[in-house]
Amino acid sequence: MNLTILINVPKEYSSNLRIILTVIFVIIAGIGLFGNSLVFLSIATNRLKFRHSPTNLLLVNMSCADLLILVFNIFDIAQFALDDNWPTAWHLGLFMCKIVRFIQVLGCYVSVQTLLIISIERYIAIIHPVKSSQINRRRRVCCIFILIWSIGFLAAMPNLYLLQLHSFFNRPHYFICGLSDDRADAHFIMFYKYTESVFFFFLPAVVQTVAYMFICYKIFLVDRVAQAHSFVQHTQKTKISAVHHQYSHFKLSSSFPSPINAIVSTTSSPRSPTHIITTTTTHGNIARKKAVIMLVIIAIFYFISFSPTQINFIYTQMNQSHHLYEYRLFFVITILLALSSTAINPILFYIFNNFFRYNFNVLLRCICPRCRLSSNIHQNIPMI
């Protein structure tokens, strides 16, 4: 990325606008830190349950990456709040420039890989359940964690070499933290940015789109038709067995009850095994559909949130004279979306998942005893 023009165009803007944006940044970061902390506290209080759900463990891994992004974005928020000029100066030195940006990129890489693995795991579990059950889940998840963080760490390593401090045009004692503008590094930076766009944005987006299309087709169309057909067959068998049962007692009883009445009384009992099985299956299907909807929303919001970075990259390839980060509004929108993507996940967990909702309510009651939150029913089934 060429920062020459960006660092040569300092702009002053309203202090009121800066204060408003800083408050928004702090609120989003606070929500994200609090929500993702509740996710970790839920693990600490229910370790055994989380071990039985690979998807839950992967979501927790994503929360860990989100926490990294949020914590290390605090440095940018603080400097943004203290600097009246645009672009915001970096006051923490070269070492912190490299470390902070490295951790931020690492968190993004881990998040997108985790979303990709979740979509593949859900695809195998729903489309090929037999293959999924034959794999050692605990060992598989452990290997996946090691692989995700190793790839993320190695892929983010070039930032430690490429990041530099660039001086302002008319503010010699102020610097910006950004990628090198040395011509010797230009080809490597271009290769790195293309690799990042393909393997950590476009390819995961395509794979997840295809995977969730198959998943949604399976659970919302195929399974629905199969369940309706199975219910009809089961109802017919119940009616036939009821008729045979009443007919077998016809000769032993002088008052033969109406077969229709017997059928109704047999099939309409709310405590019958048929009713219990049907209710359990229905609740399980609803929970699975809600979980898939939640995962799709998380994936969509993630890629929308980090799309401005890719839009800027594509724009700079088409028009290399300047880039979109020169515009303060575009930069602010980019930061807001990135922070929002890390803060919204715990909210979605609370909305769509009964288990997370229950644990969040219990933890909130411990933190704030006056809070009146519904947590009477504890779902003992895994999230997905």
Q: How confident is the model at residue 372 (pLDDT cuts 50, 70, 90)?
A: low
* CA quadruple 139, 145, 151, 154: dihedral sign: negative
Please indicate whether residue 345 or residue 53 has the higher confidence score (pLDDT): 345
- What digits encode the pLDDT tens for the residues 269-325? 455 554 444 555 566 677 778 888 999 999 999 999 999 888 888 888 777 666 666
Kindly tell me if the per-residue pLDDT of 66 is higher than 90. yes
The pLDDT of 19-27, averaged and rounded, is 88
Sequence-distant (≥ 6) Cβ neighbours of residue 199 within 8 angstroms: 155
118 part of a folded domain: yes
Sequence-distant (≥ 6) Cβ neighbours of residue 37 within 8 angstroms: 67
**Reported pTM:** 0.78
- The most distant pair of C-alpha atoms in the chain lies apart, rounded to whole Å, by 108
pLDDT at res. 127: 87
The rounded distance, in Å, linking the Cα atoms of 39 and 70 is: 15
The rounded distance, in Å, linking the Cα atoms of 32 and 348 is: 12
Q: How confident is the model at residue 233 (pLDDT cuts 50, 70, 90)?
A: low
**Residue given tokens 């902390």 in the structure block:** 37
Query: Which residues form the domain of 344?
Result: 4-367
- Residue whose C-alpha is closest to residue 77's, from 25, 20, 28, 17: 25
215 part of a folded domain: yes
The rounded distance, in Å, linking the Cα atoms of 340 and 29 is: 8
379 part of a folded domain: no
Q: What is the DSSP letter of 86?
A: E
User: Can you state the percent helix, strand and coil of the chain, rounding each to 5?
Assistant: 75, 5, 20
Q: How confident is the model at residue 10 (pLDDT cuts 50, 70, 90)?
A: very low
pLDDT at res. 281: 55
The rounded distance, in Å, linking the Cα atoms of 360 and 352 is: 13
For the domain that residue 317 is a member of, what is the CATH number?
1.20.1070.10
**Residue given tokens 């003992």 in the structure block:** 380
380 part of a folded domain: no
> Using an 8 Å Cβ cutoff, are 309 and 197 in contact?
no
75 part of a folded domain: yes
Please indicate whether residue 318 or residue 246 has the higher confidence score (pLDDT): 318
Q: Number of folded domains in the chain?
A: 1
The pLDDT of 205-222, averaged and rounded, is 90
Please indicate whether residue 230 or residue 318 has the higher confidence score (pLDDT): 318
Q: Look at the chain and count its residues.
A: 384
pLDDT at res. 260: 45
The rounded distance, in Å, linking the Cα atoms of 233 and 230 is: 5
Q: How confident is the model at residue 7 (pLDDT cuts 50, 70, 90)?
A: very low
Burial of 2 (0-12, 13-18, 19+ CB in 10 A): middle
376 part of a folded domain: no
* CA quadruple 69, 146, 380, 44: dihedral sign: negative
Beta-carbon neighbour count of residue 59 at 10 Å? 27
328 part of a folded domain: yes
Q: How confident is the model at residue 338 (pLDDT cuts 50, 70, 90)?
A: confident
